[in-house]
């Protein structure tokens, strides 16, 4: 059977929708609550549409041989799944499905179990599902089929544009969180190193640093307590918890900035009283390094203030639709977002 372009498109969208139904039911059963599954916002998962079209095309010469339908369909769909997964992770630094925990997987993008599933799906589609769908779509007048397919292409384009932008926003958020965490860890380690290498320091300086460190420890405890709250919050409460978390993080930045400035002031005082050129050079190097850290902390404060709540909610929306997603490049930050979402927004965002 030779189909028109409009008919091919209708088959594509039909299988996109059926794939979405299957994924939603399967993942919702695993998660024990409704999950609007997929990369897109709407009820379509394009990889199923492309997979179905691929299977229909490559099995045309072997339609009468079920073992070959299984093998051809499995090979074509598996290759498509691997290519799609690797390209998406390259673009967005997030793996939207991950078979790493399955046996006989290849880089986490494909696995034997999923490939066998594609083979079974190929037989089911070619021999059972596609026949009534084919009769149904062939009955649609060509003009109406063209109109419907054109409208669906427009909807898909709009949804893809919005979803890709959300994925890019998530990538930028993860990148920023990762960079910020690295800066904070590096700064705290460096301050500890400088402190251990200052042979002389005033009592006031030591008391001030102890006060700041006590407040920093209290700040860390508060953040950990926030992460352990029960999963009963509504959307408004989630927004409030995000604001609280950002407030505590901003306070941590402020304390670290104050601690850095205290070190710089103490190093200035020590430099004035040191006669050794070598010691002066060492203290100046510390001052210069801490000055750079202070500038980076100021940039982080500005970035944190400019981050809108909507950006976090968009990130949570992507996580909600893809609960098994992972990120190798931004593993720690992605885990942080997923943990916060699991604690505060799983049922409501």
Chain segment 58-95, per-residue pLDDT in tens: 998 898 899 999 999 999 999 999 999 999 999 999 99
What is the rounded distance in angstroms from the CA atom of residue 174 to the CA atom of residue 183? 14
Handedness of CA 274, 278, 284, 287 (dihedral sign): negative
Report pLDDT for 338: 81
- For residue 187, what pLDDT band results from cuts at 50, 70 and 90? confident
What is the rounded distance in angstroms from the CA atom of residue 325 to the CA atom of residue 334? 9
Place of tokens 């299988």: 15
Pairing of β 110-111 and β 105-106: antiparallel
Report pLDDT for 229: 43
What is the rounded distance in angstroms from the CA atom of residue 224 to the CA atom of residue 245? 10
- Please name the residues in contact with 168: beta carbons below 8 A apart, sequence gap of 6 or more: 92
Report pLDDT for 271: 76
In contact, 239 and 340? CB cutoff 8 Å? no
Count other C-beta atoms under 10 Å from residue 149's C-beta.
21
129-160 pLDDT per residue, tens? 999 999 999 999 999 999 999 999 999 999 99
User: Residue 256's closest CA among 216, 208, 308, 304?
Assistant: 216
Angle at 111 between CA 107 and CA 116, to 5 degrees: 160
- For residue 186, what pLDDT band results from cuts at 50, 70 and 90? confident
- For residue 199, what pLDDT band results from cuts at 50, 70 and 90? low
In contact, 103 and 111? CB cutoff 8 Å? yes
In contact, 347 and 231? CB cutoff 8 Å? yes
User: Residue 317's closest CA among 276, 287, 288, 349?
Assistant: 349
Transcribe 193-235 into DSSP letters.
HHHHH-S---HHHHHHHHHHHHHHHHHHHHHHHHHTS-S---H
* Mean of per-residue pLDDT scores for the chain: 83
Report pLDDT for 73: 93
Handedness of CA 25, 30, 33, 37 (dihedral sign): negative
Query: Best-predicted range by mean pLDDT among 16-25, 217-226, 293-302, 333-342?
Result: 16-25
What is the rounded distance in angstroms from the CA atom of residue 157 to the CA atom of residue 13? 12
pLDDT greater than 50 at residue 211: yes
Torsions phi, psi for 54 (to 5 deg): -60, -45
């Amino acid at each position: 059977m030779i189909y028109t372009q409009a008919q091919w498109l209708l088959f594509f969208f039909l299988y996109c929708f059926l794939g979405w139904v299957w994924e939603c039911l399967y993942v919702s059963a695993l998660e024990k609550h409704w999950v609007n599954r997929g990369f897109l916002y709407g009820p379509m998962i394009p990889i199923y549409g492309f997979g179905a079209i691929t299977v229909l095309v490559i099995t045309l010469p072997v339609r009468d041989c079920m073992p070959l339908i299984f093998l051809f369909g499995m090979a074509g769909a598996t290759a498509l799944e691997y290519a799609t997964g690797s390209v998406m992770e390259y673009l967005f630094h997030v793996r939207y499905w991950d078979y790493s925990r399955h046996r006989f997987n290849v880089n986490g993008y494909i696995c034997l179990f999923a490939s066998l599933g594609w083979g079974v799906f190929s037989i089911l589609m070619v021999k059972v599902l596609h026949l009534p769908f084919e009769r149904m779509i062939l009955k649609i007048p060509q003009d109406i089929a063209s109109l419907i397919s054109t409208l669906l292409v427009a909807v898909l384009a709009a949804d893809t544009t919005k979803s890709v932008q959300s994925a890019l926003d998530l990538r930028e958020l993860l990148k920023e969180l990762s960079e910020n965490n690295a800066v904070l860890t590096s700064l705290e380690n460096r301050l500890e190193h400088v402190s251990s290498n200052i042979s002389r320091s005033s009592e006031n300086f030591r008391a001030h640093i102890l006060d700041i460190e006590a407040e920093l420890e209290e700040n860390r405890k508060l953040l950990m307590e926030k992460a352990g709250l029960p999963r009963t919050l509504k959307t408004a409460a989630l927004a409030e918890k995000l604001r609280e978390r950002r407030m505590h993080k901003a306070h941590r930045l402020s304390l670290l900035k104050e601690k850095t400035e205290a070190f710089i002031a103490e190093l200035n005082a020590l430099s004035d009283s040191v006669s050794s050129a070598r010691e002066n050079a060492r203290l100046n190097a510390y001052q210069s390094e801490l000055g750079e850290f202070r500038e980076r902390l100021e940039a982080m404060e500005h970035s944190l203030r400019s981050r809108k709540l909507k950006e976090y909610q968009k990130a949570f929306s992507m996580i909600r639709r893809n609960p098994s997603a992972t990120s190798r490049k931004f593993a720690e930050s992605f885990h942080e977002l997923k943990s916060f979402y699991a604690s505060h927004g799983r049922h409501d965002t």
